[in-house]
Amino acid sequence: MSMRATFRPSRGNHLMTKIDTSLIEQENAAREANLRADYETLGAQLARRGVDIEAITARASAFGVAVPSWGTGTGGTRFARFPGEGEPRNIFDKLDDCGVIHKLTGATPTVSLHIPWDKADPADLLAKAAEHGLGFDAMNSNTFQDHADMPLSFKYGSLSHNEATTRQQAIDHNIETIEIGAKLGSKALTVWIGDGSNFPGQTSLSKQFDRYLESMKAIYKALPDDWRIFSEHKIYEPAFYSTVVQDWGTSLMIAQELGDKAACLVDLGHHAPNVNIEMIVSRLVRAGKLGGFHFNDSKYGDDDLDAGTIEPYRLFLVWNELVDLENTPGLNLAHMIDQSHNVTDPIESLIVSAVEIERAFVQASLVDRTALGGYQDANDALMASATLRAGFRTDVEPILAMARLRKGAAIDPVAAYRASGYRAAVAAVRPKVKGGGGGIV
């Protein structure tokens, strides 16, 4: 498509595409003494609880979550998008921004791409990713909007469309996304569709789901042996009456019907309000069908707010299940962020979000599971709950910061980012984008 000809990686000029290592060292030098004092104090406190701080710091160091390429640009709502300064112009700018996030946090070693938005020559993508030491996580297909180079419209559906020709177009796009991903070292395809209906009676709920399953089986057949396919459910939007893959029950049916290479992807914002998401985690792990996560936060619906900003305890409880079940045979989870940044610098939001997701993981790692099991067996609800919350209440910032310092990332990533002047530098070469209609949500 036309983007392919236009988007080329910039080489050999003076664009700022990285944060200087010396700047991070300088920023860290100003904070290192205080960090070491805080780390020692926390280490002594954890030792009294029978926890070796170094073992926890090693877990924090090994932690990684994928950044979504689309998260580096300003998102928007159905009503409007207000672009920021120095918005990435293409996937190569996005990969530069992802490189900045990883260099400062040391916690985002992979990027999740979206086709067609990120379509480019795979060799160029690999070269740009290598510049930043980045790899590629799950690929995302897109049949929730029309493509300039496709003859048929997805207005009335894609994989579940009532016309076989439109379903085939959607299947072909998913297979092309797999083929691009295979060249990039990705090992999974995430499928989320907007198919559904806006009026009762508009479509046959049963036939529509049958058509969807038939299409997914065709995509499944095209998966390389070492690939997985993730089914991502979402309760509503853009179809507001019914959605084909609306909840984890349907997602589980899909994964079970497709086969061993199929699993469910849970997006934290894709549920009805107050749904017990940690229980869904537990059930899907039990079924051997939890494949991955899209982290974000929400207040009312699929808000795509920054992880940990609204309900940090819920994020902790999800991680508590994941840590509790982490030794389940065959469990292999893809952790990804899926957020829309409307009023912040997307790089700063992604930095803070990655750290908050890691924080919840580390706090969950502090839960005394032997004591918790004992209280559960004794029906001591009060002490069981208190044991859980002891992990959540612990300020693990010194552990997170020490893990970053040791891998050459920043003790205070947002402060280092602001000190670098990266946004102003890229704004000088990335033309200002005009605001407009609704963004992608």
Residue ranges binding Mn ion (CB under 5 A): 267, 294, 338
Q: Are residues 249 and 209 in contact, defined by beta-carbon separation less than 8 angstroms?
A: no
Phi (first) and psi of residue 230, to 5 degrees: -105, 130
CB of 235 to Mn ion, least distance (A): 12
Closer Cβ to Mn ion, 267 or 278, answer by number:
267
Closer Cβ to Mn ion, 53 or 334, answer by number:
334
CB of 378 to Mn ion, least distance (A): 40
DSSP string, 101-132: HHHHHS---EEE-BTTTT---HHHHHHHHHHT
CB of 260 to Mn ion, least distance (A): 23
Closer Cβ to Mn ion, 383 or 441, answer by number:
441
In whole angstroms, what is the distance from residue 319 CA to residue 385 CA? 15
CB of 296 to Mn ion, least distance (A): 8
**Backbone CA torsion sign across 290, 293, 299, 303:** negative
Which residue intervals of 259-308 are DSSP H helices? 277-286
CB of 287 to Mn ion, least distance (A): 20
How many C-beta atoms lie closer than 10 Å to residue 107's C-beta?
26
Closer Cβ to Mn ion, 128 or 294, answer by number:
294
CB of 294 to Mn ion, least distance (A): 4
CB of 234 to Mn ion, least distance (A): 7
In whole angstroms, what is the distance from residue 208 CA to residue 241 CA? 14
CA nearest 18: which of 92, 88, 103?
Answer: 103
Q: Are residues 339 and 296 in contact, defined by beta-carbon separation less than 8 angstroms?
A: yes
In whole angstroms, what is the distance from residue 403 CA to residue 398 CA? 8
CB of 106 to Mn ion, least distance (A): 24
CB of 321 to Mn ion, least distance (A): 19
CB of 265 to Mn ion, least distance (A): 7
Closer Cβ to Mn ion, 289 or 294, answer by number:
294
Q: Could you tell me the maximum CA-CA distance found in the chain, to the nearest angstrom?
A: 67
* Beta strand spans in 209-364 (E): 228-232, 242-243, 262-267, 290-295, 334-337
In whole angstroms, what is the distance from residue 326 CA to residue 361 CA? 11
**Backbone CA torsion sign across 129, 130, 135, 139:** positive
Q: What is the residue type of 207?
A: K
CB of 232 to Mn ion, least distance (A): 6
CA nearest 370: which of 360, 354, 352, 383?
Answer: 383
Closer Cβ to Mn ion, 96 or 338, answer by number:
338
Closer Cβ to Mn ion, 118 or 267, answer by number:
267
The interaxial angle of helices 122-131 and 164-184, nearest 10 deg, is 40
Degrees, nearest 5: CA angle 420-423-424? 90
- What does each C-alpha distance from 73 to 32, 347, 348, 440 come to in angstroms? 32, 9, 11, 11
Closer Cβ to Mn ion, 271 or 294, answer by number:
294
